[in-house]
Every structure is written in C-alpha cells, then in structure tokens.
Homo-oligomer: A and B are copies of this chain.
C-alpha cells in the first residue's frame, strides 16, 4: 500500500464530507473583484486540531481558534479571509472574529455550532464587517464539492502569493480510500514556527481531536517550521486540520495501525508539499536553497546554524547574485554561536566541496559556481561534532523583495 500524491489538485473539494465556497467581498476596499473569502463546511460537526503562531502578538482569529479548540468540541467549518489580518485590533477585533464565526453558522443554518476563523493581510485595521457578512453569505450560497470551487477557495486566501497552493494525498485501507488535501497561502513573513502562512487541511479519515493535534504538530515541525523566506514570524500563522470521518477508516491509537501510519505519511506529504510551495513562492524570490546542517552536537544547534545562514542578509543577497561566497556561510554559522570548531568545518555546494576541515578549496570554485546557478540547490554544512541535523528551506533576498515591501 502506498500514497497516491496529486500536486496542484483542486484542494479541499477532493475530500468527502466537506463542501467549499468562495466569495469576492472587497475586504481590501479596492473594488477589484478579487476573491477574498473562503468557507469550508463539514457535512456534520467533526474533530479538528490546529497549530498556531508562537508570536506574543496573536491576531484575534488566532486567539478565537485556540480558545475554541481548547474547549475540545466538534467543529463544523472554517472561514478564511485575505486582505485584513484582524491583528492588533484590540477588543473590537475579538468581537469581529467571533461575529464572523457566528455569521458562518447562521449562513449554513447551523447556528450554535463551532466555526473557526482565519485572517491574513494588513495588521491594525478593523475588519469591514458589513462586507464580511455579505462575503460569508455569498460563499455559503456557493457551497459545493465542485473542483472549480475548490480552486477558487485556494485563491481566496492568497495575499502577495503569485499562485494558489494545493495538493492531495490518497491511500486505500481495507478497500476504502482515505483522502488528505490541503490549501495554503504564504509569501512574505515566512519563518520560525510558520509566519503569515495559513494552511487548511481536510481529511475524511476518522480520528480523535488529540490524535489529530499530535499528527498535525509532527507534520508541521517537519514542514512549515522548516522554511524561511524573511525570518519574520507573523501574528496570524495557522494550520488547521479537520477530519470528517466520511471514509469510515479510523486512525490513531484507537484505529488501525497500518492506516494510521499511512495517514501520518499522507499528512506529512501534504504539509511538506505546501511548505515547499510557500518558500518557492516567497515574495520576489529567485532561488530556493536547502540549508542542510549535519554533524552538530544536537538538532537544536543544527537548527540555530541553519536559521542563521538562511536568514543572513549577506548570504541571501549573495544567493541572489549567484555568487557562491562560502565565507558568508561560515561567518553566519559562526555567529549562531553553537561552539563550532572551524578546523572541522566542511561546506559543500551540492556535492562540490568548498571547504574541508576548515581549509578553503578555491580550485573547486568553477564547479561550485555552476551549482548556485540553479533555481534550487543545496548548501551542506557539516560540523563534525555529533549527530544533530536540520534542514531549512530558505530563499534568496532580492531587490524586488525590498521594493515590494517598501510600502504595503
């Protein structure tokens, strides 16, 4: 048995037990007809879990989701909007997030059931609740399993992304098919422990909320938490997982072990693919670079070094310029201050050694210059001190990024 993976799938409409609707309700106030609200509704209340930003400043919808999920009840659906993050909006923001959830329940005639809310966009401005209300109504009226609507929903949550991010994984167990599908948005502010990124993952597996939480946490740690565009972590990062149970296949400690393993694998594949799409579509980037650190005393040390390298402005600028300046890698690895021993340091571009045992190999420069010309390449930093390893997917830094983010 294995996983069937569909890249750039229609997204959440792939999953039995869920319907999806999208709307253009002009949250940005630009009257440009852009899709900006997605509604995902389960046929009946289902188990759910979430992983959230660890920023001290959490947007109102993050606080709402955390509170609702902590209460442990079943969840009927999710409202996601782009264009306004409902962050730093004080008590009114909390009221608006709760009102959005209430509007969703009302629109699908299930008042009193739990709806989660996610927002992304500009910080510090109140949600235009009149437009949110019409958007929720419009999306509710369109609820369907039509793949075209799934694609519209994936588009509605985007901000500065250049393309929708979707994928689906399927496996069969005992003659039944289990589907895991996700949509995401990313772009700027992508870093430690996720950053303005949203991902909604739905499955028709049957599972308890605690198991979903455990599985989602593990999948996020190996995916969304291993990418970095600019080192900024947002106030709104959220990954949600809803399980309709429509497949009839139970996973988790009280389910089938084989199906459970396949489910974790499918969830991991979906999250990793979405995370890769997020870094690959970072704002105005031209390169995706895997920073692979090994031989550290611990995974935590390896992660510190990978993040120091992957977030160094000098390193990222040199990747943009296709200048394989390994000195900047060594410098950044050193200022992570893990107790690196320069005389044991190896640095490779792809498979080409640039430094071995702390000694530069300038004669290899023509070969490593070739490596960094690719749109995707790997930088390997080996410390020779232990077994700790970490892989970070990072991007370059471009003049386009700066100009794009000069004003919002």
Contact = CB atoms under 8 A, between A and B. Distances in A.
Contacts of A313: 230-232, 313, 397, 401-402, 405
Nearest to A340: B56
Nearest to A323: B407
A124 B358 contact: no
Contacts of A235: 330-331, 334
B340 A232 contact: no
B331 A90 contact: no
Interface string A379-408: 000000000000000000111111111111
A373 to B, nearest CB: 13
Nearest to A55: B334
A330 B232 contact: no
A334 B402 contact: no
A280 to B, nearest CB: 18
Interface stretch (A149-157, A246-254, A270-278, A314-322): A314-322
Contacts of A189: 314, 331
A330 B235 CA distance: 9
Contact of A318 (B56, B195, B322, B408): B408
Interface residues of A, number: 70
B123 A321 contact: no
Interface of A: 54-58, 85, 87-90, 122-125, 188-189, 192, 195, 230-235, 311-314, 317-318, 320-323, 325-328, 330-343, 345, 355, 358-360, 362, 397-408
Given A58-B342, A233-B335, A234-B331, 7 more contacts: A56-B336, A57-B340, A88-B342, A123-B327, A124-B326, A189-B331, A397-B402
